[in-house]
């Protein structure tokens, strides 16, 4: 194990904790370079400083108590490090890296594992978290913690990280952050926003999460160009959208989920809340699931095909005039295009017939696709004995999905 400080080589056996001592002795804005070896963790960085691993396996290992690295200064850079063995105290947020009231920091090309929390970002601004691998202790899911915990953290770039087998990534009261080209695999809530505004999620990949994306109390959010695939479990939600304003969901692929988009409307809210534009929503159990009112949505130019159900509504009012739904491709559309303009001659209408029963009573879902439910549904289409509910109407359905 060798450690360089200002280009000088220090034999580590001379120091009780050579890394912390080197940090204490370093001048602000200097760089400490570490060669292969295991360095004692539970270190504190309270000055502008860079720590870089120049070997292939540079490990900073905690004592299984508290956080491995605590940063309380701006302009700190950590690169090419393995970071492991934090404590297990949820209340003190034991983490691989704890950052408090700092800005202009960088954590990149680090491998974080065997920790409770990954990176705790408490009041962190204008910082970069990039090209890291982050996983946590392999506890039962309720005892795992978050890979990233953003709290009052603004204007940060989270790019090209792989986040795997953790509980959540959370943003609380955190604004103007960008998540770009990250991979989220096998997590619970892969990204969960609460009361966080003006955030962007661009070209990320989500696979095998319980819920890929959850937005609660979010304004001016942009979700563009993401792949949201194979959410796990009976719930298996790709995107859960609740209490949002000016929410843009554009050019994403949502496939192989139990529920593609789960949308919770608000009865008393007014004004357009959700813009769902140019997405592929395919091979899901339910493409669009609405809880409460179907209102204030702009749903345009989407490709909706090969889903078991295109639109499901489980409570609240039916389709309202405040929606703009047009130019979508629906593979269930059975109309004609006599003038050849690529648009169906008649609107595409989605009704709830007899098989709507399972939307309200999930015990009935046991019989879904059974002969008796298929017969009831066929008879309801042929000669409705009760008035079906109109839950979606596309005034200008497209004839093909090219």
Selected residue with higher pLDDT from 306 and 5: 306
Q: Which of 204, 200, 189 is nearest to 238 (CA)?
A: 189
pLDDT tens figures, 120-173: 999 999 999 999 999 999 888 778 999 999 999 999 999 999 999 999 999 999
In the predicted structure, residue 81 carries a pLDDT above the cut 80: yes
* β strands within 251-316, DSSP E: 253-255, 259-264, 274-277, 280-282, 286-291, 297-300, 303-305, 309-313
Name the percent of the chain lying above pLDDT 90. Answer: 75
pLDDT band at 203 (very low <50, low <70, confident <90, very high): very high
In this prediction, residue 265 carries a pLDDT of 74
Give CA 105 to chain center in angstroms. 23
**According to the model, what pLDDT value does residue 45 have?**
98
Strands 324-326 and 30-34: unpaired
Prediction pTM value: 0.88
| Length reported for the chain | 402
What integer is the mean pLDDT of 206-213? Answer: 97
pLDDT averaged over every residue in the chain: 88
Asked whether the beta carbons of 115 and 85 are under 8 A apart, the reply is: yes
Task: Please tell me the distance from the alpha carbon of residue 300 to that of residue 158, in angstroms, as a whole number.
Answer: 29
Backbone CA torsion sign across 54, 59, 62, 68: positive
At 10, the pLDDT band (50, 70, 90 cuts) reads very low
**Cβ neighbours of 38 (radius 10 Å):** 13
Query: With 80 as the cut, is the pLDDT of residue 79 above it?
Result: yes
pLDDT value at 313 more than 90:
no
Tell me the pLDDT band of 1, cut-offs 50, 70 and 90.
very low
- Identify the H or E element spanning 21: helix 18-25
pLDDT of residue 378 exceeding 80 = no
């Amino acid at each position: 194990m060798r450690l360089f400080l200002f280009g000088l080589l220090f034999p580590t056996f001379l120091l009780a904790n050579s890394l912390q001592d080197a940090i204490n002795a370093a001048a602000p804005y200097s760089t400490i370079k570490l060669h292969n070896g295991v360095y004692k963790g539970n270190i504190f960085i309270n000055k502008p400083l860079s720590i870089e691993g120049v070997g292939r396996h540079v490990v900073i290992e905690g004592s299984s108590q508290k956080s491995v690295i605590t940063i309380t200064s701006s302009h700190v850079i950590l690169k090419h490090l393995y970071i492991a063995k934090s404590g297990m105290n949820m209340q003190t947020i034991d983490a691989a890296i704890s950052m408090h009231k700092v800005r202009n920091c960088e954590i990149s090309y680090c491998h974080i594992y065997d920790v409770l929390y990954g990176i705790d970002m408490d009041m962190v601004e204008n910082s970069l978290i990039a090209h890291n691998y982050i996983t946590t202790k392999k506890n039962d899911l309720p005892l795992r913690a978050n890979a990233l915990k953003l709290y009052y953290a603004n204007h940060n770039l989270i790019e090209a990280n792989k986040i795997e087998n953790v509980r959540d990534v959370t943003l609380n009261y955190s604004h103007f952050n960008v998540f770009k080209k990250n991979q989220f695999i096998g997590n619970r809530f892969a990204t969960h926003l609460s009361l966080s505004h003006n955030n962007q999620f661009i070209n990320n990949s989500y696979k095998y999460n319980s819920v890929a994306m959850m937005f609660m109390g979010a304004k001016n959010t942009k979700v563009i160009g993401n792949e949201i695939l194979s959410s796990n479990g009976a719930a298996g939600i790709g995107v859960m959208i609740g209490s949002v304003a000016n929410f843009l969901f554009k050019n994403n692929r949502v496939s192989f989920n139990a529920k593609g988009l789960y949308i919770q409307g608000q009865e008393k809210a007014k004004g357009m809340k959700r813009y769902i534009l140019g997405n592929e929503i395919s091979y899901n159990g339910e493409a669009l699931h609405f809880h409460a009112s179907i209102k204030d949505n702009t749903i345009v130019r989407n490709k909706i095909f090969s889903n078991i159900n295109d639109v499901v509504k489980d409570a609240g009012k039916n389709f309202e005039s405040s929606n703009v739904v047009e130019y979508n491709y629906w593979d269930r559309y059975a109309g004609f295009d006599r003038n050849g303009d690529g648009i169906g001659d008649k609107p595409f209408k989605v009704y709830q017939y007899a098989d709507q029963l399972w939307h309200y009573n999930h015990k009935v879902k046991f019989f879904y696709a059974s002969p008796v439910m298929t017969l009831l549904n066929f008879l309801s289409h042929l000669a409705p004995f009760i008035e079906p509910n109109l839950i979606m109407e596309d005034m200008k359905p497209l004839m093909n999905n090219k």
